[in-house]
Structure 1
Amino acid sequence: MKEAMEPGESSHCEISPGMTKYWIPECQSDRKPAVGMVFTSLQHGIDFYNEYASLCGFDPRLHSQRKHKSGLILFKYVVCNRQGFKPDKVVQNEGTIPTVDDLFQNANLENTLDPCMDNSDIDDNVSLCVEDSDLTSPAPSNQCTLDDESNKRRRVSTRNGCKACVVFKYCGYGRYSVFKFEERHCHRMLEEMHKQFLKVNRNLDFGHKKFIINCAKANIGPMKSYKLFKESVGGYSNIGATAVDFKNFKRDLRAYIEGVDAQMLIDKLFRKVEVCSSFFFDYDVDENDQLTKIFWADPICRRNYSYFGDVVSFDATFRTNRYNLVFVPFTGVDNHKKCVTFAAGLLSKEDVESYVWLVSRFIDAMGSVPMCVITDQDPAMRIAIQKVIPNVKHRYCMWHIMNKLTTKVGPVLSKDVDFLTRINSVVWSNYLEPSVFEEKWKSVMTDYDLLEHQWFVDLFNLRKFWIPSYFRDLFMAGLLRTTSRSESENNFFGIKRMSLCWQTGLIQFPQPRIP
């Protein structure tokens, strides 16, 4: 008995004498397997059945197989993804799917093997190999089970005893033929609009993977990558994968590089040196061979320094990636007052030893010493600069200092407009002589009872490092504020976004460029 097809269905329903419903897919005859059909290889036969399943709206799954003692596959069983039942269910249905053993006993194997094989050994030297490996993922379900013993999530089973299958039989000289084909299913086929979610229709090819990797370099997650890819191909149905596939690939990629991404980064930098001899980099490891320091400068950076390297700013503002490394960019200003990059480094510690190593590598790469270096008030930086380049003029970033003013003076003075106006006019003026500055500074401290304030006392003792009156004769190139320049570099490298993503690895760090 046949039932009418519902709109959107690609199969028709038949009812057996035992009142069991079966759904038979509708497709062109030349796209459907048939008993006796011969393929040049087993894989070609499996691919043909996969295309048939994709067209009809179900997922196939590799099942059992029969092998010769030499490893040659004699029979291969490919079933519907819903074949069989969960182990705790009892199968009660019309008939059963014949096993590979049954097929082997009923099959005529004479003249089906290569002439060079000993056919007399087939009956006694065969082995049964069950592969129940999915070509597909189970269809979505609103149920989920949890393994109580291992406390791990188990894949939801959607098996319902479907008997649809195809059996390929070896017929000599590498060829396989369709030995058995059962096209009846005990479930409906998916509608056309849902076929895109079948595993057989989902495949992350090289283009997908390359797109996800490129997005990861820009710190774009898998969900945003999925939406961007959808826009580029014109719709979700054209993607060829799901958002879960994108997430899984990103997860697998992260697991693959975890623990070895430092070596991958070093190897990549060595390859850059082979391609371009002007590329400079160096690194250091600890006693456990763990990467602790790395420095690089590409040819454009080194050329920028040769033109605009009189004044250099470097600032360790952000810790980034899962290893909590400090990003230290070396920044300058060009003739258009725009930021230029001289070099960059990553440090595991902000101590004197690390900064001595970093500054030494910078001088080695550039071949000359700058006139002035601007940093924040980090004492480790000051000691390192005095050790490596003692004759350079070292200045502190005024923004770092003045940004702390309102928190140091308390809530009353921080809102006193007259106090803020007077202190800013003294500190930021480029035209005051040092003696005049000291006089005006003491006047402000006296008027607001700040002479004994330890923070202001320390600032006054360090006045030659940050007050413009003491280096009026030095060309600063607009670099009185290291933070604003470093912020620009951090945005250029994507460090702000990366600092929010603890999963970012070293190999995903923005790579140095080579012209």
Structure 2
Amino acid sequence: MVSRVKKNKGDAVRYKRSTKRVGCKVKLILKIDKKKGTYFVFKFIDGRSHCLITPTSRHYIRGNRKMTILHKNFISKNARINVGPVKSFRLLEENVGIYENVGAIMQDFKNFHRDFKNYIKGDDGKMLIENFIKKRDIFLGFYFDYALDEDNHISHLFWAEAISRKNYALLGEMVTFNYHHRSYITFGVGLLAKEDTESFEWLFRTFSYCMGDCKVGPELNKDEFFMKELNSFVWNVEQEESEFEEKWESIMIKYNLLEDKWFCNFFSIRDQWIPTYFRDITLGGILRTTSRSESINNLFNNFSNPHDAC
């Protein structure tokens, strides 16, 4: 049993170990030779009345424990998918059958994991970017971008696979967190250190640049008045269908978009995405695409740690 001992506030914490009396008569006394500055055995009495260690506890002895390359690789690879040392130890224990066959104890796994994190501390962001650069050189369709903060740490990061960019070209006319044939389509991945306006603006600009997204022309795409006027009635669930169609035609005429293929296509399928056309559906008013993304968010959370920083 180990107890914490701390006499006064501010004192260092000392650990007091309780001993178990078994009647053993062994005695070893060491003294220091002040002239040589070394210790020597002053007295030794061999009166041992019990075994030094039981057979079931031999694997705890430091000489019988060794962190092999197998252990180290297993811990480091699991760390990539956010599996800690405790879970790694238990997984390996299940694989080898019994606790004694692991070859190390759980504390050895924790110590290596701690030392491993300290070893790459300060360079993990650099390693990530170097890995992305290599991936971009090998896979031509792979895209990534990042930004650094004032401390030279990664504050914004975005990447997209070639298949994700292809999927967006085919299905990305309107991006929502939704199902496609009852499966998710991931267009890209973004990591932000802060959830502020500047960070999200960077993310959306980067996403748009990556996908070559300019459906209505660069000038109109940046027109705040056009976007505000369009959004004011597109997402208005209180209006009637006839009101929506009148406002749509009005803005198409105003901005000379009557012949625009992209807008014409979206108007032809308005009953599939305009909220006012879902008013007769039971509970249709409370359905939101963001609520359907919780499961995929949970999936990503299993492989990421909010406390890790680059």
What is the TM-score normalised by the length of structure 1? 0.40
Secondary structure of 1:296's aligned partner: strand
CA contact (8 A) 1:281 1:294 kept: yes
Distance, in Å, in 1 between the alignment partners of 2:159 and 2:289 is 20
Match of 2:70 among 190, 207, 211: 207
Distance, in Å, in 1 between the alignment partners of 2:62 and 2:28 is 20
Secondary structure of 2:28's aligned partner: coil
Distance, in Å, in 1 between the alignment partners of 2:187 and 2:296 is 11
Deviations 1:12-43 (A, max 9, x none): xxxxxxxxxxxxxxxxxxxxxxxxxxxxxxxx
How far is the alpha carbon of 1:260 from its aligned partner? 3.4
Corresponding residue for 1:363? 208
CA contact (8 A) 2:155 2:193 kept: yes
Secondary structure of 1:223's aligned partner: helix
Q: 1:186 to 1:394 in 2, by over 3 A?
A: farther
* Residue identity opposite 2:28 in structure 1: G
How far is the alpha carbon of 1:353 from its aligned partner? 2.7
CA contact (8 A) 1:284 1:293 kept: yes
Q: Which residues of 2 match residues 210-359 of structure 1 at below 5 A? A: 210-313=73-176, 331=177, 333-334=179-180, 336-359=181-204
Tell me, yes or no, if structure 1 residue 161 matches structure 2 residue 28.
yes
Corresponding residue for 1:198? 61
Q: 1:226 to 1:252 in 2, by over 3 A?
A: same
Q: 1:196 to 1:273 in 2, by over 3 A?
A: same
CA contact (8 A) 2:158 2:191 kept: yes
Q: 1:263 to 1:154 in 2, by over 3 A?
A: farther
Secondary structure of 1:214's aligned partner: helix
Tell me, yes or no, if structure 1 residue 468 matches structure 2 residue 275.
yes
Corresponding residue for 1:151? 12
Secondary structure of 1:220's aligned partner: coil
Distance, in Å, in 1 between the alignment partners of 2:158 and 2:53 is 56
How far is the alpha carbon of 1:263 from its aligned partner? 2.4
Q: 1:356 to 1:394 in 2, by over 3 A?
A: farther
Secondary structure of 1:267's aligned partner: helix
* Residue identity opposite 2:12 in structure 1: N
Q: 1:365 to 1:338 in 2, by over 3 A?
A: same
Distance, in Å, in 2 between the alignment partners of 1:217 and 1:162 is 50
Deviations 1:252-293 (A, max 9, x none): 233333443222322222222233232110011133323221
Between structures 1 and 2, the one with greater helix share: 2
CA contact (8 A) 2:178 2:289 kept: no
Secondary structure of 1:346's aligned partner: strand
Q: 1:367 to 1:391 in 2, by over 3 A?
A: farther
Distance, in Å, in 2 between the alignment partners of 1:160 and 1:274 is 68
Corresponding residue for 1:110? none
Secondary structure of 2:188's aligned partner: strand
What is the TM-score normalised by the length of structure 2? 0.63
Q: 1:488 to 1:305 in 2, by over 3 A?
A: farther
CA contact (8 A) 2:2 2:16 kept: no
How far is the alpha carbon of 1:245 from its aligned partner? 1.3
Distance, in Å, in 2 between the alignment partners of 1:287 and 1:489 is 32
Distance, in Å, in 2 between the alignment partners of 1:279 and 1:395 is 36
CA contact (8 A) 1:296 1:344 kept: yes
Distance, in Å, in 1 between the alignment partners of 2:71 and 2:227 is 53
Secondary structure of 2:186's aligned partner: strand
CA contact (8 A) 2:157 2:190 kept: yes
Distance, in Å, in 1 between the alignment partners of 2:306 and 2:202 is 26
Corresponding residue for 2:241? 433
Structure with larger Rg? 1
Q: 1:365 to 1:154 in 2, by over 3 A?
A: same
How far is the alpha carbon of 1:151 from its aligned partner? 1.5
CA contact (8 A) 1:293 1:348 kept: yes
Secondary structure of 1:340's aligned partner: coil
Query: What is the root-mean-square deviation of aligned Cα atoms in Å?
Result: 4.4
How far is the alpha carbon of 1:213 from its aligned partner? 2.6
Unaligned runs of 5+ in 2: 20-25, 31-44, 245-272, 280-286
Q: Which residues of 2 match residues 176-195 of structure 1 at below 5 A? A: 188-195=51-58
Q: Number of residue pairs matched? A: 247
Distance, in Å, in 2 between the alignment partners of 1:275 and 1:155 is 58
* Residue identity opposite 1:494 in structure 2: N
CA contact (8 A) 1:370 1:392 kept: no
How far is the alpha carbon of 1:155 from its aligned partner? 9.8
Corresponding residue for 2:294? 487
Deviations 1:211-238 (A, max 9, x none): 2233333333322222111111111011
How far is the alpha carbon of 1:295 from its aligned partner? 0.8
